[in-house]
Amino acid sequence: MDALDILTDLDHVIPYFQPIFSADEHRIIGYEIFGRYISGGKVVSLGPFFQDSSIPDEYRLEVDNTVLTKALEQALSIEKDILLFVNRDAEVLTHNDGESFLQLLLQFQEKGISLNQIVLEIDAADPKYDEIAHLMNYYRTYGIKIAIDKMGDDSSHLDRIGQLKPDIVKVDLLPLRSMNLSPVYRDILYSLSILARKIGATLLFKNIEMVYQLQFAWQHGGRYYQGFYLGKPDEEFCVRDILKDKMKSEFHGFILYEKRRLEAVFDVSEKFQAKLQDLLSKNRKTADYEEMMNLLVKSLDDIAFRMYVCDEDGFQKTANMFKKDNEWMVQPEYYQKNWSWRPYFLENIFKMRHDKKGILSDLYRDIETGETIRTFSYPLNSQEYLFIDLSYEFLYRQEGLL
C-alpha cells in the first residue's frame, strides 16, 4: 500500500469500530476506532501505514484525523455514555504540541460529543512515553480518559502505570492462545491487577478469541473485554445488548466453576485443620517442636515438602524440615530467620490467633524450588505457629487447588 495513494484518496479512508463489553452490565460500553482503507473494492487495515515511521508525521496525522473525524461524525448518533477508544502514536500525537488532536475533539464537543467519552490509548512501550506524560495530564483536565496499551507481555513498564495512573490498563491475551501458560505470565498479570486496583484503574483484556480466554480475564479482575470472540471490527455500531444473554450464561458458568474451586480450597483447609488437631492431640507428650515435626513428616510425607515453626513476630523457632529426593533433611541455617516481611504474614498471624484455626494460602511460586505451591499455617498456641508447604504433586492430585 503506497502512502501517497492513501493521502490523495482520503474519501476511501474510513473508520471501523470494535465493540468493548463490560462484566458488570454484559453489554457494550465502548468501541475502539480502527483505520481502514478501501482499495480495489477490498477493505484493508491502515495499521501498517500508521506504524511506518518512515512516513512523515504530518502525513500520518492527516490520515489519523480523517479517521477520527469520520468516526466522531458517526458517533453523534450513539448514546452519550458509550466510550470511544482512540489510538495515537506518541510521535504523531505531539506534532503541533498535541493541539491538533485536542482541537479536533473540541470541535465535536460543540456538536454533542462529550470529552468524557474519549479514551486516548498510548502504547506503554512507546519510546517517547515519558515525554508525553505531561500532555496526558493536560488532556485529562478536559475530561479525556487515558488508557495504557500493550501490557501483559512483560513487566518492564509497570513503573509507567504508577507514574501516569491511567484510567484503563489494556492487557493483551495473545500469549494465552496456548493452554500451556507460563507461570511468569500469570505473575505479571497478578502484579498488574494489584497495581490497577491500588491506583483505581480498570483492567481491559483484549484479543479474546476463545471462551477460556474470557474466563481467564474474568478470573483475573477484568472489567472490560474485547476480541474476535465477542465482536470483530465493523463499519457500523452494534446493538448494545447483542451478547447480553450469551455473556450472562457464560459468566454463570464461570461463577459455578469458581464456587467449586473455592469450595475445594475450603474443604482441603478444613481437612488439614482436623488432621493436624488429631495428630497433635495424639502426641501431646512430645518434648519439643523438632520431635513433633519428626512425627508429622511421617504422616504428611505424600503431602508436604517443608515445615517449620515461627513465633508471632515471624522469627523461626525451629530449623526447616525439608524433603529432597524423597528424603527428609534438617536445614538448621533457617533457625531464627524472620519472615514478617512476607506479604500477609502478620495479617494471617492475627487471623489465626483470632479464629483459632489454620489458613490455606493462595497459589504462589516457592523462592527455593521455583514450583507452584500453597502453604497451610496452623496455630499451635497464641504465640507460635506451624507452617507446612504443600507440594505441587499433592496440589495436582486435588481438584480445584491449581
What does each C-alpha distance from 317 to 286, 336, 374 come to in angstroms? 16, 6, 21
Give the SS3 label for residue 297.
helix
What CA–CA distance (Å, rounded) separates 164 from 362? 30
Cell of 100: 491538533
Q: What is the pTM of this model?
A: 0.88
**257-309 pLDDT, tens per residue?**
999 999 999 999 999 999 999 988 887 766 688 888 888 999 999 999 999 99
Sign of the torsion angle spanned by Cα atoms 15, 66, 116, 164: positive
Report d(CA 370, CA 178) in Å as an integer.
21
> Which tens digit of pLDDT belongs to each residue from 157-194?
677 777 788 999 999 988 777 656 666 777 778 778 88
CATH number for the region 3-232 comes to: 3.20.20.450
- Pinpoint the residues of the chain covered by CATH 3.30.450.20: 269-397
The continuous run of DSSP H or E covering 111 comes out as helix 99-111
Residues 350, 52: Cα–Cα separation, whole Å? 57
Provide the b/e sequence for 72-87 (b: ≥16 CB within 10 Å): bebbeebeeebbbbbb
- Do residues 94 and 130 lie in contact, with contact meaning Cβ atoms separated by under 8 Å? no
Rg (CA), the chain: 27
Q: Which three cell numbers stand for residue 148?
A: 495504557
What's residue 370's pLDDT?
85
Its CATH class, for the domain covering 269-397, is alpha beta
Asked whether the beta carbons of 339 and 310 are under 8 A apart, the reply is yes
Per-residue pLDDT, 333? 96
**Distance (Å, whole) CA 284 – CA 295:** 12
Q: Name which of 58, 132, 71, 148 is nearest 104 in CA terms.
A: 71
Q: Indicate if the alpha-carbon torsion angle 150, 156, 160, 161 is positive or negative.
A: positive
Nearest to 199 by CA among 146, 125, 256: 146
Q: Residue 280's pLDDT is what? A: 87
pLDDT at 288: 83
**Integer Cα distance of 277 and 256 in angstroms:** 31
CA distances from 341 to 314, 315, 331, 344, 354 (A): 8, 11, 21, 9, 21
User: What backbone torsions phi and psi does residue 14 show, to the nearest 5 degrees?
Assistant: -135, 160
| Low pLDDT (below 50) residues in the chain | none
What is the reported pLDDT for 268? Answer: 92
Q: Is 46 helix (H, G, I), strand (E, B) or coil?
A: coil
3-state secondary structure of 377: strand
For 304, phi then psi, to 5°, come to: -110, 160
CA 24/CA 36 separation, integer angstroms: 31
- Distant-in-sequence, close-in-space partners of 286: CB < 8 Å, separation ≥ 6: 292, 295
Parts of the chain belonging to CATH 3.20.20.450: 3-232
